[in-house]
């Protein structure tokens, strides 16, 4: 009895063998199913992941790279446009400054034109005054010539008349020199100044008082200065001629001839231009 319970029979051993074989087959089938499922999962999942995850990520990165490149390019363009705008602003500022400078120059030119118009008006008035002076001196000279002829006919003393005649001739040349300077005829002005100096030299021969001689010396100095400045500084020459006219009128007041050019007679030539050698008589 004990041997039958402990020792399996042949059928039991065969059943056990087939049971173990079935379990082995089941486990093998289970492993094959798992491996097949993993293979299918890998074969289907990798393209899916690549198509739906990896590729979109790569596309996104490429787009991000393109966007970054485009942004960098746009940034450079914006900076370039800002620099161009700044350059244009600087040019506009330069143009505005140039325009303002041109407006200022135009205003200065207008002011100069107005000043020139005023100076032309004053110059025309001065020319008319000088013409009136010349006419008055010519009339006085004619009257003196008539008086001298009458006195010569009567056999009377003519020294005073001759002195007045010489003085009037000097004043006439001074007035004509002033008129020539006003007309910008500087050569003729020099000729008239030289003739006035010659007339004053003749007048010195008949003047015997000290005041008159000092006045004539001062007048000759002024004439020399006016002669030298007639070509380079006609305005200074005109002032010296004004001084000569005033000095002669106040020192030797001609009878019957009004003092047409007013002003105080200078008592010295200090403060004027540096003395130059005297102009020769009749020099042009």
Residues whose CB falls within 8 Å of the CB of residue 180, separated by 6 or more in sequence, listed in order: 186, 188, 189, 192
Residue 138 in any domain: the answer is yes
Residue 185 in any domain: the answer is yes
Residue 141 structural domain:
125-251
Residue 132 in any domain: the answer is yes
Contact between residue 240 and residue 272 where contact means Cβ atoms under 8 Å apart: yes
Contact between residue 146 and residue 266 where contact means Cβ atoms under 8 Å apart: no
Cα–Cα dist 160/244, whole Å? 21
> Which parts of the chain have pLDDT scores under 50?
1-3, 154-156, 256-284
Cα–Cα dist 68/58, whole Å? 15
What is the number of structural domains in the chain?
1
Residue 129 in any domain: the answer is yes
CATH of the domain at 144: 1.20.120.660
Residue 278 in any domain: the answer is no
The pLDDT value recorded for residue 266 is: 39
Residue 17 in any domain: the answer is no
Residue 140 in any domain: the answer is yes
Cα–Cα dist 201/193, whole Å? 12
Contacts 24+ apart (CB under 8 A), 258-266: 258/136, 260/129, 260/132, 260/133, 260/136, 261/129, 261/133, 265/215, 266/218, 266/222
Cα–Cα dist 250/56, whole Å? 117
Residue 131 in any domain: the answer is yes
The pLDDT value recorded for residue 1 is: 44
The pLDDT value recorded for residue 194 is: 92
């Amino acid at each position: 009895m004990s041997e039958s319970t402990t020792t399996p029979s042949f059928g039991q051993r065969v059943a056990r063998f087939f049971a173990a074989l079935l379990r082995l087959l089941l486990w093998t089938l289970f492993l094959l199913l798992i491996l097949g499922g993993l293979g299918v999962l890998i074969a289907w999942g990798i393209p899916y992941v690549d198509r739906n995850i990896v590729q979109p990520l790569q596309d996104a990165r490429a787009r991000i790279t393109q966007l970054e490149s485009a942004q960098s390019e746009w940034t450079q363009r914006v900076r370039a446009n800002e620099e161009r705008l700044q350059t244009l602003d600087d040019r506009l500022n330069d143009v505005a400054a140039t325009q303002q400078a041109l407006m200022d120059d135009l205003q200065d030119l207008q002011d100069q034109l107005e000043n020139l118009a005023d100076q032309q008006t004053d110059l025309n008035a001065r020319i008319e005054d000088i013409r009136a002076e010349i006419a008055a001196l010519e009339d006085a000279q004619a009257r003196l010539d008539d008086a001298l002829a009458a006195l010569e006919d009567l056999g009377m003393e003519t020294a005073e008349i001759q002195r007045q005649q010489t003085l009037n001739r000097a004043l006439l040349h001074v007035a004509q020199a002033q008129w020539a300077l006003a007309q910008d005829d500087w050569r003729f002005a020099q000729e008239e100044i030289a003739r006035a100096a010659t007339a004053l030299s003749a007048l010195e021969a008949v003047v015997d008082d000290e005041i008159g001689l000092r006045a004539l010396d001062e007048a000759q100095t002024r004439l020399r200065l006016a002669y030298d400045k007639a070509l380079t500084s006609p305005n200074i020459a005109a002032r010296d001629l004004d001084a000569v006219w005033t000095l002669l009128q106040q020192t030797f007041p001609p009878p019957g001839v009004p003092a047409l050019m007013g002003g105080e007679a200078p008592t010295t030539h200090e403060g004027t231009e540096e003395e130059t050698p005297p102009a020769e008589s009749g020099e042009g």
